[in-house]
Structure 1
Amino acid sequence: MTTARMMPLAVGLFAIGVVALVAMFAVGSPGLPGWVFALGLLCSPAGLALGVITVIRDSRRPRARQG
């Protein structure tokens, strides 16, 4: 997968996880189903890790010579 496709996926995963975490704190524990907790605890770190891996992978890719 290219960087152009991986970075929006990483940002989307991270955003979904952050929204779930905010919902957990705003609504409270008893009012939410279990899948919201799973989204909050899995999507945020997964999106962050994918974003970091994408940036590192893109920075190590050899650039085409110009000239």
Structure 2
Amino acid sequence: MEGKQPGNKNMPDFKELNDRIIAEPSTSPSLVIKTNADPESAVEDNPYAQGVDQANLEKLKGFFEGREHH
């Protein structure tokens, strides 16, 4: 039995696309440094915060400020 192939039949298979590079995630640690040039608020000038309701805004702030929020 063949698997379902949803979507546009004219779309090439993902493995055949050659117009982009998909890098593997780094196995080494990364360093993130906050500077005084960064905005005070985690949502200021943050495109992810646009159009977010108040409940999710608190979760978003917690994520970007390094706090866990359940």
Indicate the structure (1 or 2) with the bigger Cα radius of gyration.
2
**Normalised TM-score (structure 2):** 0.24
When normalised by structure 1's length, the TM-score is 0.25
Question: Of the two structures, which has the highest relative contact order with CA contacts closer than 8 Å and spacing of 6 or more?
Answer: 1
